[in-house]
A and B are shown apart, each in its own frame.
Chain A
Amino acid sequence: MTMHDAIERFVHDGDRVSAACGLEARIPFAAGHEIIRQKKRDLTLVGPISDALYDQLIGAGCVRAVEAAWIGNVGTGLGHNFRRAVERGDPHPITVTDYTNLTMALGLRAAAEGVPFAVTRSIAGTDLAAQQTVFAPVADPFGGEKLTAVKAIPLDVAIVHVQRVDDNGNAHVFGNLGTTHESVRAAKRCIVTAEEIVDAKIIRSQPNATIVPGFLVSAVVHEPGGAHPAPVLGVHERDHAFFEAYSEASRDLAAWAAWRMQWIDGVSDRAAYLRRLESRP
């Protein structure tokens, strides 16, 4: 399936979407940019961390709410579009629910396992714990110790970028896995974007590496370079300079609009983006 068709069919306005399972690696930037081109609206973005992709989706006006552990630009720090949305309501106000990495992963896992909450010892004594819609004190029923319950975090769509996948969506993932297991299983639908489509025999030759079982997958998109500028182990390194250029451009609205035209709205698809990347002076 093309990226255009996968996003058109399986990402709907108002959906709860996660494109953040790798934290810094394998971030599905190509899918995020197609979401921006198709002007999806009122999305709830779910983390834990999506390097700078969520900052771009927020700046493009696709987002109504963010539930995450960290929103910014990992190499440089602050997310300028995220800040404008929270501090000034530009392009429109968003709500933010703050998690830690572990509490977010446990909430996703609870959803993946079909239970209403997870328990943790994290966040006691912090101001995160005051967010009563998602955290609540709970006593150990076997001993009475005070813990924190983390409400399950269900998703409509999980989007993951992987090294290789077969036609049925069975995907091999290499490198650090972040919340890949939990995010895919917490979602009603899953879009897999992949560097390579391979024969099912290759997937079955190494079943321990099959992190995404195909029966959970709604769409398989062959999208080489689909995570750039995020790193993909064995394929390409992180493009630090590209992240830094985005950080600079996103500091003000005019430069962000120009950056967005150059790299998102002004290219038809990822292949065109990669041609533009290669032809840079």
Chain B
Amino acid sequence: MTASPRAIMVAAAARQIRDGDVVFVGMRLPLIGFAVAKLTHAPNAVGFFENGLIRETPAKGFVVTMGDGPNVSEATSATTLVDVMGMLQAGRVDVGFLGGAEVDAIGNLNTTRVGAARLPGSGGGGDIAAHAKRCVYIMEHERRRFVERVSYVTSHPSGDVTLITTLGVFALGNGSPRAVSLHPGVNERNVQEATGFAIDFAGVVQTAPPEPAETVAIAAADPNGFWTNEGA
């Protein structure tokens, strides 16, 4: 069976987590990515959630929000926002996950407003970008979202940024934007047509599809495919 584009993104996200990392997890696909990392190569990763949770095991079942029972149940610690995000600000978080409506060539994210359209806002995004040693963004790869300069800077990263999209994996923030890997079936033209800034493709490889252990872990973390079955 061919992996869905979202399953490829989740596996790529999981691989950004090193064993022992403190991870600012966030919502949606990163929740599954954290679970997959824990179940495969990073059993000692620690997960932070801005509502005040610290977890060392994957959620105990399907969750939509970080405050759902299965994400609270068997948490290591249920504490306060200031406690968890204070430790983030103090530099204790190795990798943080984010998303946005717009991203630019230097890794700024916009989740506040695009033209006349009002979006929900920062949430914890602005804090995570400012303080995590490395950031990983997960986004739909569309030209209207990948712009030379975002129209509003909600989140400004201080460290390196890895951008995982529906088309590939990219490095931002340190020199010119660079393609690290393209997902199976995606070519350079597909990417450049969907991107509003120039990308350096030197040395690009194909994104490795999920390995069997990752596929098993994705099925365990998202049993009904709510997050990972949709196409790109």
User: Contact between B85 and A231 (Cβ–Cβ < 8 Å)?
Assistant: no
User: Contact between A101 and B85 (Cβ–Cβ < 8 Å)?
Assistant: yes
Q: Looking at the assembled complex, report how far the CB atom of B92 sits from the nearest CB atom of chain A, in whole angstroms.
A: 13
Closest to A70 in B: B123
User: Contact between A72 and B67 (Cβ–Cβ < 8 Å)?
Assistant: no
List residues of chain B with CB within 8 A of the CB of A87: 116-118
Q: List 15 A-B contacts (CB under 8 A).
A: A24-B65, A87-B116, A98-B154, A102-B81, A102-B127, A105-B82, A127-B152, A128-B126, A128-B154, A177-B80, A181-B80, A230-B67, A233-B73, A237-B69, A238-B67
A178 CA / B65 CA spacing, docked (Å): 14
Interface check B220, CB cutoff 8 A = no
User: Contact between A83 and B85 (Cβ–Cβ < 8 Å)?
Assistant: no
Interface check B153, CB cutoff 8 A = yes
User: A19-46: which have CB < 8 Å to B?
Assistant: 22-25
From the candidates A103, A126, A240, name the one contacting B154 in the complex (CB within 8 A): A126
Interface check A154, CB cutoff 8 A = no
Interface check B198, CB cutoff 8 A = no
List residues of chain A with CB within 8 A of the CB of B66: 23-24, 176
A83 CA / B112 CA spacing, docked (Å): 11
- Candidate in B49, B82, B130, B155 with the most chain A CB atoms within 10 angstroms: B82
> Chain B interface mostly helix, strand, loop or mixed?
loop
User: Contact between B153 and A102 (Cβ–Cβ < 8 Å)?
Assistant: no
Interface check A48, CB cutoff 8 A = yes
Interface check B125, CB cutoff 8 A = yes
Given contacts A103-B126, A109-B82, 13 further A-B contacts (CB under 8 A): A25-B51, A25-B72, A69-B121, A71-B120, A82-B120, A87-B117, A99-B122, A100-B125, A105-B80, A127-B153, A128-B112, A174-B78, A238-B67
List residues of chain B with CB within 8 A of the CB of A176: 49, 51-53, 66-67, 72, 75, 78-79
User: B108-155: which have CB < 8 Å to A?
Assistant: 112, 116-127, 130-131, 152-155
Interface check A125, CB cutoff 8 A = yes
- With contacts A122-B89, A126-B154, A127-B112 taken as known, whether A106 is within 8 angstroms of B51 at the C-beta atoms is no
From the candidates A74, A75, A122, name the one contacting B127 in the complex (CB within 8 A): A122
From the candidates A96, A109, A128, A177, name the one contacting B52 in the complex (CB within 8 A): A177
Interface check B164, CB cutoff 8 A = no
Number of interface residues of A (CB under 8 A): 55
User: Contact between A79 and B120 (Cβ–Cβ < 8 Å)?
Assistant: yes
Instruction: Report, nearest first, the 5 A-B pairs whose CB atoms are least far apart.
Output: A24-B67, A72-B120, A125-B156, A25-B67, A100-B126
User: Contact between A69 and B124 (Cβ–Cβ < 8 Å)?
Assistant: yes
Interface check B50, CB cutoff 8 A = yes
Closest to A108 in B: B82
User: Contact between B78 and A86 (Cβ–Cβ < 8 Å)?
Assistant: no
> Chain A interface mostly helix, strand, loop or mixed?
loop
Q: Looking at the assembled complex, report how far the CB atom of A161 sits from the nearest CB atom of chain B, in whole angstroms.
A: 12
List residues of chain A with CB within 8 A of the CB of B89: 102, 120-122
Interface check A180, CB cutoff 8 A = yes
List residues of chain B with CB within 8 A of the CB of A105: 80-82, 85
User: Contact between B68 and A238 (Cβ–Cβ < 8 Å)?
Assistant: yes
A168 CA / B196 CA spacing, docked (Å): 60
Interface check A116, CB cutoff 8 A = no
Bitwise, B58-77 to A at CB < 8 A (1) or not (0) is 00000011111100110100
A120 CA / B112 CA spacing, docked (Å): 20
Interface check A267, CB cutoff 8 A = no
Q: Looking at the assembled complex, report how far the CB atom of A96 sits from the nearest CB atom of chain B, in whole angstroms.
A: 8
Interface check B88, CB cutoff 8 A = yes
- With contacts A74-B64, A101-B124, A121-B89 taken as known, whether A23 is within 8 angstroms of B69 at the C-beta atoms is no
From the candidates B49, B123, B153, name the one contacting A100 in the complex (CB within 8 A): B123
Closest to B86 in A: A102
Interface check A123, CB cutoff 8 A = yes
List residues of chain B with CB within 8 A of the CB of A182: 80, 82
Interface check A137, CB cutoff 8 A = no
- With contacts A120-B89, A175-B72, A177-B79 taken as known, whether A24 is within 8 angstroms of B127 at the C-beta atoms is no
